[in-house]
């Protein structure tokens, strides 16, 4: 006789789920036992449910498919929250099984009692209690369809006693719909978009993660309109490569001429972006294209909103556009972009290649060099975001994943765990801050337990560097940011992970190469300079003053890696672009 838990596992199998991340425990045990009896689904023991949720988020992000995590009642549930917020805000399909205290005890302040239907409301599209066997398997399917259909988290709350009950209905073989259809823009909106694009003298395109799968279309549009193309951090991996119109990134970590190009164009087109920093947007003469109607006009007032997938919309509008002959705006922005990158390099007077402690930017540049062409990088919130934005070179095959919307620390290692489970043979590199690594340090044990060949590159500056920068920029003396040095290589070795500690710049290349070639898990503990801080390009005078007051030693600006070569190549191509 199958149980409610069996049915749940059956539906997961039908949805193509092959693993569930979590920690076992009381109310969750019937579910875990059903997984034990199912050949096609593995139970992945993590050390903290938070890491399980992050791992599921990363798996969903790299595969585009549903991923699942689970936590037992009370504290097991509350641990899940951080990773679920990350998944939900990132719009990736994750189902969380949150087991609950016995039904008869709900509302009595029972041991470990929380109210999961309330707890998870804000980080899910769907969060429902399974209080009777008769609700299954339907609720499992409804939850899955919410996660996939709406893009985000669904939570099924199930008391252990309900999971244990005999199933009342057959499970059936109804396979959940696991692929979303494209959103086609209404014809009227396409016509208006074409009219505005034709009427504007100069147009800049600003791209977010929604341009995934639309590289060709965006390039065709930029070519036809002679448009500079800027991007957000999340858009970078999808649009910066093979892009002769690239003018860099906007936002706090931005660089290049993106800010100028977005502000100086007659018309700004937001493509698949929900870029949250409205102060970086011109707030005028803007049109927006997005598959999610709720995002239209959320960050800026719009002259026109178009509801559609970016690729579908651009394919529809391209035949209606008249090519722009005057490319002077594009050329000016490409030159400005190159100059902006050169200026940063010029301002960056210190020799960083032979500095001790190691300059993190020097290490990041080498990491970019030695990493595989199809590597998956997971990036900790903190300065690693800056190094990734500036030094990792996208090529259409690499992936760069971070907690870019929720902005949680400690995401990189558990994200790497999920990415590596999804692609066991791909190189997966966790760019970890020492603060981030320390926060979920136990996950080294998860890596070791499952012999995941994850490579953990720790930028160990004995400091919460990003916050140190924030304090300096605010004119505050840094406080609570620095801590005693920790030898993470020794910790990793004790956990059974191959580890190298690197203190001298001349050892970086060999050390990283050795770690990347190591067949199993490996950690590289890079002892880096806590004062190597980067500044965003659009800091105000007051911020600079505060900055200067607080620390004269800090770096004004930052390196740009291979981007300068790319920008120079684009500028060299200007005469070719001008040819009829």
Ligand X SMILES: Cc1ncc(C[n+]2csc(CCOP(=O)(O)OP(=O)(O)O)c2C)c(N)n1
Output DSSP code: residue 561.
T
**Residue 505, interface with ligand X (CB under 6 A)?**
no
Using the CB atoms, write b or e for 381-397: b if 16+ within 10 Å.
bbbbbbbbbbbbbbeee
| Tokens coding 128 | 């429902």
Q: Which stretch binds ligand X (CB under 6 A): 210-218, 283-291, 461-469, 517-525?
A: 461-469
Beta strands in 452-559 (DSSP E): 455-460, 498-502, 522-527
Q: Is 421 in the site for ligand X (CB under 6 A)?
A: no
Does 434 participate in binding ligand X (rule CB under 6 A)? yes
Stretch that binds ligand X, among 2-10, 16-24, 421-429, 431-439 (CB under 6 A): 431-439
Residue 143 tokens read as 């939850």
**Could you say whether residue 527 binds ligand X (CB under 6 A)?**
no
* Least distance between ligand X and beta carbon 81 (Å): 11
Helices (H), 303-400: 310-317, 328-347, 360-370, 383-391
Distance CA 412, CA 97 (A): 23
Closer to ligand X at the Cβ: 317 or 409?
409
Residue ranges with strand state E in 165-258: 203-207, 229-231, 246-249, 255-256
Q: Give the residue with the Cβ less far from ligand X, 311 or 523.
A: 523
Residue with tokens 């929604």: 210
- Binding flag, residue 461, ligand X (CB under 6 A): yes
> Using CB under 6 A as the criterion, what x/- string covers residues 85-104 for binding ligand X?
--------------------
Cβ proximity to ligand X, 313 vs 378, nearer residue: 378
Count of residues touching ligand X (by CB under 6 A): 19
- The contact mask relative to ligand X for 373-412 (x = CB under 6 A, - = no) is -------xxxxx----------------------xxx---
Of the ranges 95-103, 237-245, 446-454, 456-464, which one interacts with ligand X (CB under 6 A)?
A: 456-464
- Token pair, residue 427, equals 């190189």
β-strand 304-307 against 286-290: which pairing, if any? Answer: parallel
CB of 398 to ligand X, least distance (A): 21
Question: Any contact of residue 433 with ligand X (CB under 6 A)?
Answer: yes
Count of other CB atoms within 10 angstroms of residue 416: 30
* 27 versus 411: smaller Cβ distance to ligand X: 411
Closer Cβ to ligand X, 133 or 467, answer by number: 467
Closest CA to 93 of 116, 136, 63: 63
Q: Please report the sign of the dihedral spanned by the C-alpha atoms of residue 98, residue 104, residue 106, residue 111.
A: negative
Instruction: Please state the closest distance from residue 434 (CB atom) to ligand X, in A.
Output: 5
**Does residue 61 belong to the site contacting ligand X (CB under 6 A)?**
no
Contact 341, 211 (CB under 8 A): no
- Judged by CB under 6 A, the stretch of 226-234, 287-295, 463-471, 508-516 that binds ligand X is 463-471
Q: Does 458 bind ligand X (CB under 6 A)?
A: no
* Position with the least CB separation from ligand X: 433
Compute the distance between CA of residue 384 and CA of residue 210 in angstroms, rounded to an integer: 23
Closest CB 419 distance from ligand X, rounded Å: 19
- Neighbouring C-alpha atoms within 13 Å toward the C-beta of 175: 6
Please tell me whether residue 466 binds ligand X under the rule CB under 6 A.
Answer: yes
CB nearer to ligand X: pick between 99 and 463: 463
Decide whether 33 or 380 has the Cβ nearer to ligand X.
380
Closest approach of ligand X to the CB of residue 350, in Å: 19
Which residue among 72, 99, 378, 463 contacts ligand X (CB under 6 A)? 463
Q: In this chain, which of 81, 211, 452, 464 binds ligand X, going by CB under 6 A?
A: 464
Under DSSP, is residue 231 helix (H, G, I), strand (E, B) or coil?
strand
Three-class SS of residue 424?
coil
436 contributes a contact to ligand X by CB under 6 A: yes
Nearer to ligand X, 86 or 309 (CB): 86
Own/partner contacts of 399-405, CB < 8 Å, gap of 24 or more, are 399/62, 399/237, 399/375, 400/236, 400/237, 400/376, 401/58, 401/61, 401/62, 401/376, 401/377, 402/233, 402/378, 403/86, 403/90, 404/90, 404/233, 404/234, 405/86, 405/89, 405/90, 405/234, 405/276
* Token pair 């936002």: residue: 251
The nearer residue to ligand X, 287 or 457, going by C-beta atoms, is 457
Q: Residue 183 Cβ, how far from ligand X at the closest point, in Å? A: 32
Residues 194-253 that bind ligand X (CB under 6 A): none
With a CB cutoff of 8 Å and minimum separation 6, the contacts of 404 are 90, 233, 234, 385
| 257 versus 471: smaller Cβ distance to ligand X | 471
What is the C-alpha to C-alpha distance for residues 254 and 560, in angstroms, rounded to an integer?
11
User: Roughly how many angstroms between the first and final C-alpha of the chain, as a whole number?
Assistant: 74
Work out how close the CB of 385 gets to ligand X at its nearest, in angstroms, rounded to a whole number: 8
Closer residue to ligand X, CB minimum distance, 126 or 488: 488
Instruction: Output 147 or 466, the one with its CB closest to ligand X.
Output: 466
CB of 112 to ligand X, least distance (A): 23
Residue 364 binds ligand X (CB under 6 A): no
Does the footprint of ligand X cover residue 554 (CB under 6 A)?
A: no
Instruction: For ligand X, give the closer residue by CB, 220 or 405.
Output: 405
Q: What is the largest CA-CA distance in the chain?
A: 78
Decide if 257 contacts 236 (C-beta within 8 A): no
Identify the residue among 414, 435, 557, 558 touching ligand X (CB under 6 A).
435
Taking residue 10's Cβ as centre, other Cβ atoms within 10 Å add up to 22
Q: Which lies closer to ligand X via its Cβ, residue 7 or residue 481? A: 481
In the complex, minimum distance from the CB of residue 466 to ligand X, in angstroms, rounded to a whole number = 4
Query: Per the structure block, which two tokens stand in for 228?
Result: 């500079």
Query: Considering only residues 90, 272, 465, 537, which one is a binding residue for ligand X as defined by CB under 6 A?
Result: 465
- Residues at the interface with ligand X (CB under 6 A): 380-384, 407-409, 433-436, 459, 461, 463-467
């Amino acid at each position: 006789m199958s149980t409610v838990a069996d049915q749940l596992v059956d539906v997961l199998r039908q949805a193509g789920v092959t693993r569930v991340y979590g920690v076992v425990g009381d109310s969750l045990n019937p579910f875990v036992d059903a997984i034990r009896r199912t050949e096609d689904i593995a139970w992945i023991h993590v050390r903290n449910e938070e890491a399980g949720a992050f791992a599921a988020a990363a798996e969903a992000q790299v595969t585009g498919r549903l991923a699942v995590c689970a936590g037992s009642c009370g504290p097991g549930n509350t641990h899940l929250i951080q990773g679920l917020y990350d998944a939900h805000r990132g719009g990736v399909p994750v189902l969380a099984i949150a087991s609950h205290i016995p039904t008869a005890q709900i509302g009595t302040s029972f041991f470990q009692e929380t109210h999961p239907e309330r707890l998870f409301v804000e980080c899910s599209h769907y969060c429902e209690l399974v209080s009777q066997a008769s609700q299954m398997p339907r609720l499992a399917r409804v939850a899955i369809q919410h996660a996939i259909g709406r893009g985000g988290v669904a939570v099924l709350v199930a008391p252990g006693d309900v999971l244990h009950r005999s199933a009342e209905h057959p499970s059936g073989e109804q396979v959940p719909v696991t692929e979303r259809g494209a959103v086609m823009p209404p014809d009227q909106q396409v016509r208006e978009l074409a009219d505005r694009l034709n009427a504007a003298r100069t147009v800049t395109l600003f791209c977010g993660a929604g341009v995934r799968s639309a590289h060709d279309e965006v390039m065709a549009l930029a070519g036809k309109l002679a448009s500079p193309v800027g991007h957000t951090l999340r858009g970078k991996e999808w649009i910066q490569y093979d892009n002769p119109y690239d003018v860099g990134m906007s936002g706090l970590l931005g660089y290049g001429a993106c800010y100028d190009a977005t502000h100086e164009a007659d018309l700004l087109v937001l493509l698949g972006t929900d870029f949250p920093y409205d102060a970086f947007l011109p707030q005028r003469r803007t049109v927006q294209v997005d598959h999610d109607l709720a995002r239209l006009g959320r960050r800026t007032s719009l002259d026109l909103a178009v509801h559609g997938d970016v690729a579908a919309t651009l394919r529809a509008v391209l035949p209606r556009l008249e090519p722009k002959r005057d490319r002077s705006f594009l050329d000016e922005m490409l030159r400005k972009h190159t100059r902006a990158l050169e200026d940063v390099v010029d301002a960056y007077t210190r020799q960083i290649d032979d500095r001790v402690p190691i300059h993190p930017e020097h290490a990041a540049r080498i990491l970019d060099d030695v990493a595989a062409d199809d590597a998956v990088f997971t990036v900790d919130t903190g300065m690693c975001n800056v190094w990734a934005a500036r030094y990792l070179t996208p090529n259409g095959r690499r992936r760069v994943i971070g907690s870019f919307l929720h902005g949680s620390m400690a995401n990189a290692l558990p994200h790497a765990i999920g990415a590596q489970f999804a692609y066991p043979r791909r190189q997966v590199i966790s760019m970890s801050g020492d603060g981030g690594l320390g926060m979920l340090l136990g996950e080294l044990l998860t890596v070791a337990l499952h012999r995941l060949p994850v490579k953990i590159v720790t930028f160990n500056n004995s400091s919460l560097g990003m916050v140190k920068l924030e304090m300096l920029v605010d004119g505050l003396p840094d406080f609570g940011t620095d801590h005693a040095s920790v030898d993470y290589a020794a910790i990793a070795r004790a956990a059974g992970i191959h580890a190298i500690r690197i203190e001298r710049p001349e050892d970086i290349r060999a050390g990283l190469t050795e770690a990347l070639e190591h067949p199993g898990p490996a950690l590289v503990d890079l002892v880096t300079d806590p004062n190597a801080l980067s500044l965003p390009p659009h800091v105000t005078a007051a911020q600079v003053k505060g900055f200067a007051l607080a620390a004269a030693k800090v770096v004004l600006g930052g390196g740009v890696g291979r981007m300068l070569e790319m920008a120079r190549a684009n500028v060299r191509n200007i005469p070719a672009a001008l040819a009829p």
